[in-house]
A = this chain, B = another copy of it.
Amino acid sequence: MPILVMKFGGTSVATLDRIRRAAKRVGREVANGYDVIVIVSAMSGETNKLVGYVEETSPLFDAREYDAVVSSGENVTAGLMALTLQEMDVPARSWQGWQVPLRTTSAHASARIEEIPTGNITAKFAEGMKVAVVAGFQGISPEGRITTLGRGGSDTTAVAFAAAFGAERCDIYTDVDGVYTTDPRITSKARKLDRIAFEEMLELASLGAKVLQTRSVELAMRYNVRLRVLSSFEDNDENAGTLVCSEEDIVESNVVAGVAYSRDEAKMTLVSVADRPGIAAAIFGPLAEAGVNVDMIVQNIAEEGRTDMTFSCPTDQVKRAEKAMTDAQERGEINFHDLVADTDVCKVSIVGIGMRSHAGVAAKMFSTLRDEGINIKVITTSEIKVSVLVDRKYMELAVQSLHDAFGLERAA
């Protein structure tokens, strides 16, 4: 039998009634001739509640106990999903991470999947079981303790199972009906994409489009898992949702696939740093050690022998970044006149594999923003992405004007 992986997120299993609706979808795929592996999240709200308990109990918690606590929500929905399927006369049983066993590293709270032995589940399929329901988000460490894969980890569980079992497809059921050219709350012209390339999805995911966990897309790309994002609240036909797939499977596409944004960015500038060989290492070494995730970096030569160094990082890491820099100054490792933090900015990005073969995309982005009177503060580019930092008040305007300028409301 061909194997299909179906993943249901927290809102899709939030109540017993929604679990029944999800189970009906599973039953239809069984009727279509698939052996199905279902990956479930916890009922929406449950994981947040458990994380709240842990953080209130112990602000600097032991991540091993955190994992033991927060993984329990998925066990509940896995059992309930199996029972619901059984009630519909679909042979099903549940697996918790350690029962598979889904082996991970020991990096508790953000463990990486090492191995998924397929023997146990394959044997049950051979005995006539039609659906294996697996608790998402969790695994077992080499020490035999429960691990979790980080928030959104059930997406990664699903893709890893699809890769391990050679599944025909991995369907991610969620509360949106696919991946859009941009956030529909920002512009009503946002259009659902039928297909998007792994590389594009990876950029969009890491840029703040919260449809899929970034690592799940990486994994899908590495193992070439056909990944479909679709709504658990709508009737879906065969072409519903968005297929995340290889570039080769996309015949025709816009140069720019989507416009992403992130409010969670701060711009920090070290003013008039004494310039010398190795100064970048002296700045970004301590920042990395302090756990600051530096995103964009720009260096301007301000005057002879001195430079301004600007970088961006998540808003909630500003305090940590400031401490790392003043500490480094005190240790005499760097020398700067001032440190200016600007949290009133946002990042707007355009993403598209078509950029590789089209010149002038960045130039068009800059002129579009200029025409709207939006000042660009920092720029970074990659092969398939251009990102800019702008004042936060211009965020909607920037997204809308770029969406218009690149004609994203129409398919290619």
Within 8 A of B (CB), among A43-99: 50, 53-54, 56-58, 61-62, 64-66, 68-69, 71-73, 75-76, 78-80, 82-84, 86-87, 93-94, 96, 98-99
Q: Are A96 and B68 in contact (CB under 8 A)?
A: yes
Q: Can you name 18 extra interface pairs (CB under 8 A) apart from A64-B93, A65-B82?
A: A53-B80, A54-B79, A54-B83, A57-B83, A57-B87, A58-B87, A62-B83, A65-B83, A65-B86, A65-B93, A65-B94, A66-B79, A66-B83, A69-B76, A72-B76, A75-B75, A96-B146, A98-B98
Give A contacts to B, CB under 8 Å: 16, 19, 50, 53-54, 56-58, 61-62, 64-66, 68-69, 71-73, 75-76, 78-80, 82-84, 86-87, 93-94, 96, 98-99, 144-146
Distance (whole angstroms) from the CB of A142 to the closest CB of chain B: 14
Q: In the complex, are the beta carbons of A75 and B84 less than 8 A apart?
A: no
Instruction: Let me know if A65 and B79 touch, CB within 8 A.
Output: yes
Tell me the nearest residue of chain B to A94, going by C-beta.
B68
Task: Collect the chain B residues with CB atoms within 8 Å of residue A86's CB.
Answer: 58, 62, 65
A80 touches B54 (CB 8 A): yes
**Distance in Å from the Cβ of A131 to the closest Cβ of chain B?**
12
Contacts of A75 in B (CB 8 A): 68-69, 71-72, 75
Given contacts A72-B72, A99-B144, A145-B99, contact A19 B65 (CB under 8 A): no
Cβ contacts under 8 Å, A84 to chain B: 57-58
The count of identical subunits is 2
Among residues of B, the one whose C-beta sits closest to the C-beta of A19 is B57
Minimum C-beta distance from A396 to chain B (A): 41
Q: Which of B19, B69, B73, B78 contacts A68 (CB 8 A)?
A: B78
Q: How far is the CB of A84 from chain B (nearest CB, A)?
A: 5
Q: Which chain B residues border A78 with CB–CB below 8 Å?
A: 68
- Please give the distance in Å from A92's CB to the nearest CB on chain B: 9
- The interface centre, meaning the residue of A56, A68, A75, A80 with most chain B CB atoms within 10 A of its CB, is A68
Query: Among the listed B57, B93, B96, B99, which residue makes an inter-chain contact with A80, where contact means beta carbons less than 8 Å apart?
Result: B57
CB distance from A17 to the nearest CB of B (A): 10
Q: In the complex, what residue of chain B is closest to A64 when comparing beta carbons? A: B93
